[in-house]
Chain A
């Protein structure tokens, strides 16, 4: 007989899917958003995204190799995805140093301290973004307006996002119908010609990414549909009650970071629940919290906070919301 035979327990075949392929799939799904960000915000967007990706990968390498002394795993693609998502959540004129610090917090604090990939309870990109929001409040709330492709970076012209416009205006007592004249047209909001973070503006690009990920079975429909559905449902109720005080559900869908959050941030494997029912409850919680923060909270946008708050409930959901087992005997009274 030639070589000794291999013996292992069954199964002896395996799917061709790997962690790296899943991460690559997410990156591919983000390509339309990357392209739209550069189209609308120019070189600044490119600088922001590359800085975020390089810092995240670099910090993961340095921490794993020199501080933890563990094998380096940057090739699994998760740090690249964190960096890319962090970058897409930022304004195109944010200084490089802020991005580097945000990446350090995202990877170092939110991911590595918990044990690396698979162990973090909170979405690392969002933790990084919220850290930056609190530490650099002015830069993180000044949004360049899209002026087509330009080579400018920190010298971009800035303006308010649609959500901020509405919030400030309502506070000042203006009527909603008046304010809605100042926000971009719906078609512009779908394509992405509005102020906001570089990844959140183009609804069309994000939806293309959603379709790609669903087709490739990278994510399931449960979380995006429940986030979007609950947000639109809740705002629809309020809008029907008083259209002068509350913006329409379509406006809420297309403005701010809702689509980016629902499709790419909330669907992060590690920080989302592990049962279908759990995912739907999680998604509804995010949608409702986002609406509450947007309408009654201090910030004009609430998706990041809503997701982080719901992340905290995920271990509880995993412990108590379990799939109904096959042949589970229903306990009668």
Chain B
């Protein structure tokens, strides 16, 4: 019996079209637009100006405040301007525009491909290195990793959990990384274990990636304290709280953090980035991105420089199909539909999915038949039909009492509703309003 989270969840068709395709390097683009906010927390402060020459891996924007992250140039060339670009938030954000010429890396970066297993850095040095290198959660949440690694006083971390689940349909970047860079990933996990001061790490992988399970399983025998676990294929198996429950049996209490049950979760991509940062002195400026879709002629997994316009990635995949109706950054369950291909790839871009027109429009909405399928599907055991109605009617106080803030916006409810009701649209509205009202109350 494979481990899994106990209740809720849905099983959308997997469409892992690119699971067998090796990671390829996407050519360095001619122009990159690097947003200064690619993470949760305060945007980074720009350090360069128009006309400055930069090298690949050079710091171009720095941390502002405790929860923030450094931004590094992903190309070598000249800064064209500091202007705005539309990114996945749907709005224009400040970005550094760089005209690329050549690919001159910072001399401090170790470009050799040999595996470095010995971890010379101390616990404090590792955390500092993560901060320096601009490491953020690469699963999509983009929370600054050095903050997550700094366990607050009074709390203790007992186990590191590595998220290799990749439960979203279509996405395969984590899968390929585990297959092709297994040793580096495991070394990264060991580094994270040292940073947290734990002896035990559990890697969770969904059972539709049996080759990754066996590959990492075999390799892990050479690493102390790391175990690999196959998990049932169910969405959202990779959600933080659900993953902790499946692997350790512990439930993170409502309103609390994973560290309160002694667990810290990191994505496999983050573990790999930490390896490169600590062992190779390489900051985070490129990542593996899946470009996929039913109508694409050449889908694949590419190593892409941050700031590359989506256009380049789509061209490499054979060009935008005629019938494209939607472009999604991320997976189809939680990703964001973007309005154009000028949007740049950022640290949190795990994949780009192109939908043909018929798949891009929603079904017509019907009245709620009170079938309770949404309640059975919710992994947090909430009542989506109730939360959506309360939010739509503006009854935010009652929504707060019904724990609308526990919702992690996974989309299982909207996915499973036979009447195609826009449940998550309203729940998101209610959640953000409740949080805003709570903040206003605290300020008074």
- As a 0/1 sequence over residues 249 to 285 of chain A, the CB contacts with chain B under 8 angstroms (1 = contact) are 0000000000000000000011011111000000000
Closest residue of chain A to B327 (Cβ to Cβ) is: A5
Contact B381 A269 (CB under 8 A): no
Closest residue of chain B to A120 (Cβ to Cβ) is: B370
B-chain residues with CB within 8 Å of residue A19 when the two chains form the complex? 366, 369, 418-419
Contact A323 B383 (CB under 8 A): yes
Segment touching B, from A45-53, A199-207, A324-332: A324-332
The contact of B371 among A6, A11, A13, A22, by CB within 8 Å, is A22
A-chain residues with CB within 8 Å of residue B406 when the two chains form the complex? 325-327
Closest residue of chain B to A270 (Cβ to Cβ) is: B370
A-chain residues with CB within 8 Å of residue B411 when the two chains form the complex? 10-11
A-chain residues with CB within 8 Å of residue B153 when the two chains form the complex? none
Q: How far is the CA of A9 from the CA of B409 in the complex (A)?
A: 11
Closest residue of chain B to A326 (Cβ to Cβ) is: B380
- As a 0/1 sequence over residues 105 to 130 of chain A, the CB contacts with chain B under 8 angstroms (1 = contact) are 00000000000111100000000000
Closest residue of chain A to B12 (Cβ to Cβ) is: A13
B322–chain A nearest beta-carbon distance, Å = 6
Contact A322 B327 (CB under 8 A): no
B243–chain A nearest beta-carbon distance, Å = 13
Q: How far is the CA of A117 from the CA of B368 in the complex (A)?
A: 8
Contact B375 A275 (CB under 8 A): yes
> Main secondary structure on chain B at its contact with chain A?
loop
- Residues facing B in A137-193 (CB within 8 A) are none
- Residues facing A in B289-334 (CB within 8 A) are 320, 322, 324-328, 330, 332-334
- Residues facing A in B108-155 (CB within 8 A) are none
Would you call B336 an interface residue if the criterion is a C-beta within 8 Å of the partner chain's C-beta atoms?
yes
Q: How far is the CA of A221 from the CA of B342 in the complex (A)?
A: 51
A-chain residues with CB within 8 Å of residue B336 when the two chains form the complex? 10
- As a 0/1 sequence over residues 35 to 76 of chain B, the CB contacts with chain A under 8 angstroms (1 = contact) are 000000000000000000000000000000000000000000
Would you call A15 an interface residue if the criterion is a C-beta within 8 Å of the partner chain's C-beta atoms?
yes
State the interface size on chain B (CB cutoff 8 A): 67
Contact B363 A12 (CB under 8 A): no
B-chain residues with CB within 8 Å of residue A11 when the two chains form the complex? 332-334, 411, 414-415, 424
Would you call A8 an interface residue if the criterion is a C-beta within 8 Å of the partner chain's C-beta atoms?
yes
Contact A13 B415 (CB under 8 A): yes
A-chain residues with CB within 8 Å of residue B419 when the two chains form the complex? 18-19
Q: How far is the CA of A272 from the CA of B375 in the complex (A)?
A: 14
A-chain residues with CB within 8 Å of residue B370 when the two chains form the complex? 118, 269-270, 272, 274
16 A-B pairs within 8 Å (CB atoms) are namely A2-B320, A5-B337, A5-B340, A8-B337, A11-B333, A12-B335, A21-B418, A76-B366, A269-B369, A269-B372, A276-B376, A323-B375, A325-B380, A325-B403, A326-B251, A326-B381
> Main secondary structure on chain A at its contact with chain B?
loop
Contact A328 B428 (CB under 8 A): no
A-chain residues with CB within 8 Å of residue B367 when the two chains form the complex? 73, 116-119
Which positions in B face A, CB cutoff 8 Å? Answer: 7, 10, 12, 90, 169, 241, 245, 251-254, 256, 320, 322, 324-328, 330, 332-341, 355, 357, 359-363, 366-373, 375-376, 379-383, 385, 403, 406, 409, 411, 414-416, 418-420, 422, 424-425, 428
A-chain residues with CB within 8 Å of residue B333 when the two chains form the complex? 10-13
A-chain residues with CB within 8 Å of residue B335 when the two chains form the complex? 10, 12
Contact B339 A7 (CB under 8 A): yes
Closest residue of chain B to A117 (Cβ to Cβ) is: B367
A201–chain B nearest beta-carbon distance, Å = 29
Closest residue of chain B to A119 (Cβ to Cβ) is: B367
From known contacts A10-B333, A14-B363, infer whether A327 and B241 are also in contact, taking CB-CB under 8 Å: yes
Q: How far is the CA of A19 from the CA of B420 in the complex (A)?
A: 9
Closest residue of chain A to B336 (Cβ to Cβ) is: A10
From known contacts A269-B370, A269-B372, A327-B406, infer whether A6 and B360 are also in contact, taking CB-CB under 8 Å: yes
Q: Which of A1, A5, A19 has the most CB of B within 10 A?
A: A5
Contact A15 B332 (CB under 8 A): no
Contact B340 A1 (CB under 8 A): yes
B-chain residues with CB within 8 Å of residue A329 when the two chains form the complex? 253-254
Q: How far is the CA of A64 from the CA of B204 in the complex (A)?
A: 53
Contact B371 A15 (CB under 8 A): no
B-chain residues with CB within 8 Å of residue A17 when the two chains form the complex? 373, 416, 418
Would you call A3 an interface residue if the criterion is a C-beta within 8 Å of the partner chain's C-beta atoms?
yes
Contact B254 A118 (CB under 8 A): no
Contact B366 A322 (CB under 8 A): no
Q: How far is the CA of A323 from the CA of B406 in the complex (A)?
A: 14
Q: How far is the CA of A118 from the CA of B335 in the complex (A)?
A: 31
The contact of A13 among B169, B325, B366, B381, by CB within 8 Å, is B169
Closest residue of chain A to B406 (Cβ to Cβ) is: A325
Q: How far is the CA of A8 from the CA of B326 in the complex (A)?
A: 9
Q: How far is the CA of A43 from the CA of B251 in the complex (A)?
A: 60
A-chain residues with CB within 8 Å of residue B422 when the two chains form the complex? 9
A-chain residues with CB within 8 Å of residue B254 when the two chains form the complex? 325-329
Contact B339 A5 (CB under 8 A): yes
From known contacts A5-B337, A5-B340, infer whether A14 and B414 are also in contact, taking CB-CB under 8 Å: yes
B-chain residues with CB within 8 Å of residue A5 when the two chains form the complex? 324-327, 337-340, 360
